[in-house]
Each structure stands twice: as structure tokens, then as C-alpha cells.
Amino acid sequence: MNVLIAGAHGTTGKQIIEILARSGKHTSYAMIRKEEQADELKKLGANHVVIADLEGDISETAKDMDAVIFAAGSKGKNVVGVDQKGAEKLVDAAKAAGVKHYIMLSAYGVDNPRGELKEYLEAKAKADQYLLDSGLTYTIVRPGHLGNDAPTGNVKTAEHFSSAGESKIPRADVADVLVQSLDVANVRNKTFELLTGDTPIANALNQL
């Protein structure tokens, strides 16, 4: 499959590129904002680079793509423009291009936005709903607090956990879940929360 990765230059996005390169199953198209980021992404294993800004016109970015992984984020700088509207615009582009599967990196807590992350969670919730309403085949992944620890390869999944507590999950494991979701039919048209656990990723996805 041709897979477009939005936010490919981000911390999680780079790991998605690396995992795709190691697997060799799919052709990766790393979507980045700046031309000078291209060499780094190619060194990480990106097959192709797409220069596009989520705050601008991205209507052509999904042409010839089979799947999209949205892993972009503004780090709080423009949550409406990037985290919400950017995701929504890419949904529109994917729908127009006949993309078969849209995988959204969301966040734990979007169903009850509050606290200092309220604005961000509200933006992510709207983006998720936009995808749900689009008619596209989707997978929405809502991980707990992202950390930079080494991957464990083990997670736990549920439609909803009563509390994520202080549970962190390595970005590398989240990236692995997003990539494996390309090939696991069981996660299509499902929304689930994701925490570190004791179940190998492939098994956890197939048990949802």
C-alpha cells in the first residue's frame, strides 16, 4: 500500500517511518512542511517525501494513496488549525482521493476534555468526530501519556478505560500500533484507547 504519514517529522512520525522501512510491507510517503527536512526522513527510510503544510492547501496530498496515518500535532501552538482543522482537511483530501483507510492518532481523554489540555482534547475530539462522520474506513487510536522510553512491544487496549492513571506508553509502541493497524482487519472502523500492558501488539489488536 501507498501510505501517507502526516506529521512525519514529529517524534512519533519519525518512528512510524522507521517501522514502515523495517517491515518493507508498504511504501511510505512522508508528509513534511519544509524541504530541508527531506534528507533526514529519507535516511530514516521514507520511500518518498511530500511537501505540504496542514495549515495550507493539502487537497492534492492524498492522491494515489491507499492509506493515511495522521500523526501530526502543533505541540499546543495551533491546536485548532493543525490538530483539528489539519486532520479534517486531510480527511477531505483522503475522501476525494478514494483512500481506503484513515488511521488517526488521537488521545486518551478526548471524550471528557478538561484540565490544562482541555483545548487540545476538544480539538482532537472534533477531528475524531469529523472522521467518524466522513464515511471513510477509519481506525482511531487514543493512547495514554506519550513517553520516550524504549518500546516494550506489549500493550493493552479497550474501548474505554475507567482511568489511565499515570500510565505512560512509549511513542515507539504507539507508532507500532499505528503501523500494524494498516494490516489488521479487526481494527477497521474501531476507536480504542491504548496503554502499556502485557499483550503483544498484534494480539491486542486482534482481540479488540
CATH number at residue 43: 3.40.50.720
Cα–Cα dist 81/202, whole Å: 33
- Distance (Å) of CA 24 to CA 2, 103, 106, 114: 12, 19, 25, 40
Task: Dump the DSSP string for 143-162.
Answer: ESEEE-SPP-SEEEEES--S
DSSP 187: G
- Amino acid identity of 133? D
* pLDDT at 164 (0 to 100): 62
* Structural domain boundaries, residue 113: 2-206
Which residues form the catalytic set? 120
Number of domains in the chain: 1
* pLDDT at 53 (0 to 100): 97
pLDDT by position in tens, the chain (length 208) = 999 999 999 999 999 999 999 999 999 999 999 999 999 999 999 999 999 999 999 999 999 999 999 999 999 899 999 999 999 999 999 999 999 999 999 999 999 898 889 999 999 999 999 999 999 999 999 999 999 999 999 999 999 988 766 678 999 999 999 999 999 999 999 999 999 999 999 999 999 9
Query: Cα 22 to chain center, whole Å?
Result: 18
Is 50 in contact with 2 (CB distance < 8 Å)?
A: no
DSSP 67: E
